[in-house]
Amino acid sequence: MNQDETITEGQLFLKFAREILRRMQVWSSTGELPKKRIRRYVGNHVGRVQEEPDYRQLIENHFGEIVHDPLVEQCTRQLLAKGVIRLLPTCDSTTGQPITDFKRLRPMATHQLLVSRL
């Protein structure tokens, strides 16, 4: 049994999350962190508009980099193989055949991990 077979799903997800957070920290430290405007209400009073960090937009801005990160790819591939990620059956639009190639499933599987609540 190799090391990849003994690592638990939880450990894989933590590895994935730590890599995403590490990258987000790097992007944020360069001043790239997008802001979103939020209106805060207190009771019946008109609220103030505040700007807050928009981490979702930061992820969307760098999704291509995330998908192709070797560590993210490794964790995603293993979590998909272990059945942690469940994707809807996807068919090729030209042939109608189910897509089983990881390279084509990788963006969907990575997105599923980013929005999941394991």
36: enclosing H helix or E strand: strand 35-42
> Are the C-beta atoms of residues 36 and 51 closer than 8 Å to each other?
yes
Provide the residue count of the chain.
Answer: 118
pLDDT tens profile 11-64: 999 999 999 999 999 998 888 889 988 877 777 777 778 889 999 999 999 999
Q: Which long-range contacts (CB under 8 A, 24 or more apart) does 91-96 make?
A: none
User: The pTM is what?
Assistant: 0.76
> Are the C-beta atoms of residues 66 and 72 closer than 8 Å to each other?
yes
User: DSSP label at 97?
Assistant: P
Reference 82, options 117, 113, 115; nearest CA is 113
Sequence spans of domains, the chain:
3-115
